[in-house]
Structure 1
Amino acid sequence: MFGLFKKKSEKEKLQELYKKTLEKAHKLSHSDRTAADKLMAEAEEIAKKMDNIQ
């Protein structure tokens, strides 16, 4: 309850986006492999951004 108004850091936002992108890629991998590969590439770019923040 006390963290209700706490703003997320840039790293936390990127981690959440990374997780969502991987989940979407996994779901798409069953039906559309090329779209899933594109999402995986986006996830890798997000991972690189997270590494640069640290």
Structure 2
Amino acid sequence: MFGLFKSNPSKKLRKTYDIKLEQAMLAQRKGDIKTYSMLTAEAEGIWKEIEALESQQK
């Protein structure tokens, strides 16, 4: 019952992950490949954190 009020860190990280991927897509469309690769690398790091959190919760 009280788990309802706990924050879900995975949810926040997923939102950050989605934002990074969107920023990377926009950079790629503009032709800025260096920024695209940096943002994609950051998104991959965030995804690894998400997977680690979800594996701990199970």
**Which has the greater radius of gyration?**
2
2:37 aligned residue: 37
1:3 corresponding residue in structure 2: none
| Aligned mates of 1:49, 1:18 — CA distance in 2 | 10
CA distance in 2: counterparts of 1:39 and 1:7, whole angstroms: 30
Q: Distance in 1 between matches of 2:6 and 2:38?
A: 30
Residue 9 of structure 1 deviates from its aligned partner by 1.2
- Provide the C-alpha distance between the structure 2 equivalents of 1:20 and 1:13, rounded to a whole number of angstroms: 11
Instruction: Return the alpha-carbon distance in structure 2 between the equivalents of residues 23 and 36 of structure 1.
Output: 10
- Structure 2 unaligned spans of 5+: none
Structure number with the higher helix fraction is: 2
**TM-score, with normalisation over the residues of structure 2?**
0.77
Q: Which runs of 4+ in 1 moved over 2 A?
A: none
Aligned residues: 49
Percent of paired sites with the same residue = 31
TM-score (norm 1): 0.83
Q: Which runs of 5+ in 1 are unaligned?
A: 1-5
